[in-house]
């Protein structure tokens, strides 16, 4: 039987029983050496992982890949240690690999969802739709990416919750990345009385923007008439801010608009009715 045939042959109950007999017939000296090899192998794996951490820290590999690469390396190294010890005590390595392959097939069938999440993690790390530290939105959930793991990604929401999102969901659905471009547009709608001209309102709004901390002047802020209502004129204000300052600029500008309108004599509109008597 060729090596390929051996690897693809599924170990039967008799083969498994042979493995058990081999282990039972191991003498004390062989067992002691096998244990020493196992301990030494674990120590070597530990040192190799430390060396890998140092190499990854100095390399240009994205940090989001470090955890996954380290996990894969650890699995491979421990598998090599197990096969080496098994071969020493007399278990045929080729047949043992076939047995591991059978077990792996059974596990993969039982854990299809887990494997799809692992595959999704690889897709995320290779395609880079977002990185650690980005503020993203997915399926109605918004938050800052704190960690990309093999099976899920951790998102910290603005109210302090930690959400664990399966990678298969993130890699196969729409994700909005608010941080990638570095800037976001703040959009605020206000209404003003017909007694105030658009030029007067625009001047007041730009004054409010100038005093709002974090509001960018490039791109230039924009104030436009949105529509004419029954008792007011609606305006849309567009202002740019850095991604990290977005919410603070929105809150700050909302407050500064009240002050600027009061200083410029612009009247906020509210539902009311004018009654004319003759």
Rg (CA), the chain: 32
* CATH 1.10.10.60, applies to 183-264: no
- Reported in sequence order, the residue ranges of 121-276 that DSSP labels E, i.e. its strands, are 135-138, 141-148, 152-156, 162-166, 176-177, 183-192, 222-228, 233-242
In angstroms, how far is CA 25 from the centroid of its own chain? Answer: 51
Determine the pLDDT at residue 14: 56
Identify the DSSP state of 11: P
The CATH topology of domain 130-177 is SH3 type barrels. (2.30.30)
Name the band, by pLDDT with cuts 50, 70 and 90, for residue 155: very high
Q: Say how far apart CA 164 and CA 12 lie, in whole Å.
A: 41
Determine the pLDDT at residue 129: 87
Long-range contacts of the stretch 136-139 (C-beta < 8 A, 24+): 136/175, 136/176, 136/177, 136/178, 136/179, 137/175, 137/176, 137/178, 138/165, 138/169, 138/170, 138/173, 138/174, 138/175, 138/176, 139/165, 139/169, 139/173
Give me 25's structure tokens.
Answer: 């017939």
Q: Say how far apart CA 121 and CA 148 lie, in whole Å.
A: 7
List CB contacts of 232: < 8 A, sequence separation 6 or more: 191, 192, 193, 194, 269
Determine the pLDDT at residue 221: 93
Determine the pLDDT at residue 32: 84
Name the band, by pLDDT with cuts 50, 70 and 90, for residue 3: very low
What is the residue-averaged pLDDT of the chain? 80
Give me 188's structure tokens.
Answer: 């605020």
Determine the pLDDT at residue 62: 62
Question: Is 183-264 in the same CATH topology as 3-115?
Answer: no
Mean pLDDT of 242-249: 90
Report whether pLDDT(236) > 90. yes
Residue-range domain boundaries for the chain: 3-115, 130-177, 183-264
Determine the pLDDT at residue 215: 92
Strands 233-242 and 222-228: antiparallel
Name the band, by pLDDT with cuts 50, 70 and 90, for residue 268: confident
Determine the pLDDT at residue 7: 40
* Exposure b/e, 190-202, CB count within 10 A at least 16 = b: bbbeeebeeeebb
Name the band, by pLDDT with cuts 50, 70 and 90, for residue 6: very low
- Quick: pLDDT tens for 55-95: 877 876 666 667 767 777 888 888 888 888 877 777 766 65
Determine the pLDDT at residue 98: 61
Contact 200, 261 (CB under 8 A): no
Report whether pLDDT(49) > 90. no
In angstroms, how far is CA 81 from the centroid of its own chain? Answer: 33
- Quick: pLDDT tens for 171-221: 888 899 988 888 999 999 999 988 889 999 999 999 999 999 999 998 999
Report whether pLDDT(233) > 50. yes
Determine the pLDDT at residue 205: 94
Determine the pLDDT at residue 1: 42
CATH of 3-115 given 1.10.10.10, 1.10.287.1260, 3.30.300.180, 3.40.50.150: 1.10.287.1260
Report whether pLDDT(28) > 60. yes
Name the band, by pLDDT with cuts 50, 70 and 90, for residue 147: confident
């Amino acid at each position: 039987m060729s090596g390929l045939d051996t690897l693809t042959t599924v170990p039967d109950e008799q083969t498994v029983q042979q493995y058990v007999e081999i282990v039972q017939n191991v003498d004390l000296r062989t067992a002691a050496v096998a244990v020493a090899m196992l301990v030494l192998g674990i120590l070597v794996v530990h040192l190799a992982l430390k060396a890998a951490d140092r190499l990854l820290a100095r390399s240009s590999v994205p940090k989001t890949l470090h955890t996954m690469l380290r996990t894969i390396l650890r699995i491979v190294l421990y598998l090599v240690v197990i096969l080496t010890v098994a071969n020493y005590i007399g278990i045929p390595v080729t047949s043992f690999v076939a047995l591991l392959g059978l077990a792996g097939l059974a596990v993969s069938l039982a854990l299809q969802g887990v494997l799809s999440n692992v595959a999704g993690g690889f897709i995320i790390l290779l395609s880079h739709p977002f990185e650690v530290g980005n503020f993203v939105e997915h399926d109605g959930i918004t938050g800052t990416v704190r960690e990309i793991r093999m099976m899920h990604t951790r998102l910290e929401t603005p109210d302090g919750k930690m959400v664990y999102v399966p990678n298969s969901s993130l890699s196969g659905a729409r994700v909005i990345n608010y941080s990638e471009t570095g800037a976001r547009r703040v959009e605020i709608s206000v209404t003003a009385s017909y007694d105030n001209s658009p030029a007067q309102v625009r001047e007041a709004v730009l004054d409010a923007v100038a005093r709002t901390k974090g509001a960018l002047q490039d791109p230039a802020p924009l104030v436009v008439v949105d529509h004419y209502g029954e008792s007011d004129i609606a305006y849309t204000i567009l202002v740019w801010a850095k991604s990290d300052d977005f919410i603070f600029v929105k809150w700050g500008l909302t407050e500064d608009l009240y002050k600027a309108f009061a200083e410029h004599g612009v009247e906020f509109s509210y539902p009311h009715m004018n009654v004319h008597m003759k």
